[in-house]
Chains A and B, each alone.
Chain A
């Protein structure tokens, strides 16, 4: 299910004195099975862009075609489209409403008009996908869950619709380190095992550098960069200019470079950094520095 966006423009509160241009001619193409990081400063238009993918916003100008379905087409089956393109919001409290975990996850499949054995199957599958045990969590009170658990229920609620594309809108914000790690593990698995296309919106460069294969940088309603992750992080000055931070691991690598280590331009994760440091130490390149 490829996503094809052509020259998309969108203004918030169009036709009022508060009109604000949010997207100004965005063109992009996302293929099946990609893991795309969508980054940019706040108010850059990331969320507005992503909400065009499942027709929560209809283009004011330009076109959005998802799986050969034009979202602006009056006859398009948008309900089906929204099941194919799952969208998880940052705040699970906007989504969770049912008394129990199982009931809430079943909400999507019920909207699809499925029968109850199939719904139960999907609920238990979605729960196992996000690492929640069906027997102990199915009847749990939703409002007694921790932040991380709530987010996993929210993801499960979307996964139960069996999406082929999953948009994750800053879902790790405000989580404690363990909750964050658990969520990232779930996402990684969904992409590698289930082959779901993932569009990952995040303000954390560390997460994006670690997870995404391709990065789209949005700034003031335009795409300013669209390349594979390593290429994007190689041009650190460009990112800094629009107010984005470097991944922490890259800052460490940069410091090591200036101390005489031989580090590559863009180190994206901890394993890679450790390996390079080990190589440096074995080759004895930094010896003179320490002496």
Chain B
């Protein structure tokens, strides 16, 4: 049993490709642009182009496609649930009814909305995964910090905020590893997590989540002490060992992003009247 095998979020896959070499700020801005575009995409053609573009990045960055996709596996049940909700509960006045059952009515508009929302979450996850897979934690921190720096002027504690985000990201994997050990420790005492009714199965989670939470709090406390022991006092007066520089690769990547964005905006606008 290996729980951490399918976790790709927050994992860095070292490499030497141009995508890896990009300035983290370029990558963060590009990812933000892609995510913003995703929020407006409502047609399948646009998703088609989006798929080609992201798949291109994945291949270009040398990430094995199967690995990039395996992170989605644990999310599938949630996605399915979301799709079902949209399918049965979303409707517009002029939608065609596909079928009715009990209090639920399924319409073609609901089907379309379910598909769109599911695809949106899938792509959201993929874009973020590509970002973390190709950017080391240190670079990610530096990039985010540098981008959020202007907001310091209006009182946003950018450094602290970024630190919190990065720690959260780091903990995804740490907690997953811990969860793996706890599940094994309880399995060793004969718990069959896959047997019994729904209520019985839920009750079996108690011996897993209690130690997980207690250990997480303990870990957090230790982390605070360790940070304070090294005189961490927030972002004020901190300097960087490595400073970030944008280069030619970043210019190229920026141009490609710009072209893609224009293309997407064109598709979005031309397909707008659909819903």
Which positions 53-107 of chain B face chain A at CB distance < 8 Å?
A: 63-64, 66-67, 70
Task: Tally A-B pairs: CB < 8 A.
Answer: 82
Judge whether B175 is part of the interface by a CB distance below 8 angstroms.
Answer: no
Contacts of A161 in B (CB 8 A): 189-190
B64, B178, B186: which contacts A95 (Cβ < 8 A)? B186
B252 in the interface (beta carbon within 8 A): no
Binds A, one of B26-34, B206-214, B255-263: B206-214
With CB as the reference atom, state the residue of chain B lying closest to A91: B181
Q: Does B18 contact A (CB under 8 A)?
A: no
Contact between chains at B192 and A79 (CB < 8 Å): yes
B211 closest partner in A (C-beta): A97
Query: Is A16 a contact partner of B70 (Cβ separation < 8 A)?
Result: yes
**By the criterion CB–CB under 8 Å, are A51 and B184 in contact?**
yes
Interface residues of A in 45-59 (CB under 8 A from B): 51, 54, 56-58
Contact status A57-B189, CB under 8 Å = no
Contact, CB under 8 Å: B1 / A56: yes
Contact with B along A12-30 (1 / 0, CB 8 A): 1111111000000000000
Q: For chain A, what secondary structure do more than half of its interface residues adopt (helix, strand, loop), or is it mixed? A: loop
Q: Of B70, B178, B207, which is within 8 A of A107 by CB?
A: B207
Q: Determine whether B201 belongs to the interface, using a CB cutoff of 8 Å to chain A.
A: no
B190 contacts A94, C-beta separation under 8 Å: no
CB-defined contacts of A14 to chain B, threshold 8 Å: 5
> Is B188 touching A86 in the complex (CB atoms < 8 A)?
yes
Number of interface residues of B (CB under 8 A): 31
Which of these, B2, B63, B211, contacts A94 with CB under 8 Å? B211
Closest-CB distance, B189 to chain A (whole angstroms): 4
Q: Is B185 an interface residue (CB 8 A)?
A: yes
A199 within 8 A of B: no
The 5 closest A-B pairs by CB, nearest first: A111-B190, A108-B189, A87-B188, A95-B185, A97-B210
Residues on B facing A (Cβ under 8 Å) = 1-2, 4-5, 11, 13, 63-64, 66-67, 70, 178, 181-182, 184-192, 206-208, 210-211, 214-215, 218
29 of the cross-chain contacts (CB-CB < 8 Å) are: A12-B2, A13-B2, A13-B4, A13-B5, A15-B66, A51-B184, A56-B1, A79-B190, A82-B187, A82-B188, A89-B185, A89-B188, A93-B214, A93-B215, A94-B182, A94-B185, A94-B211, A95-B182, A95-B186, A95-B189, A95-B211, A97-B186, A107-B189, A108-B189, A108-B190, A111-B190, A111-B191, A157-B189, A158-B188
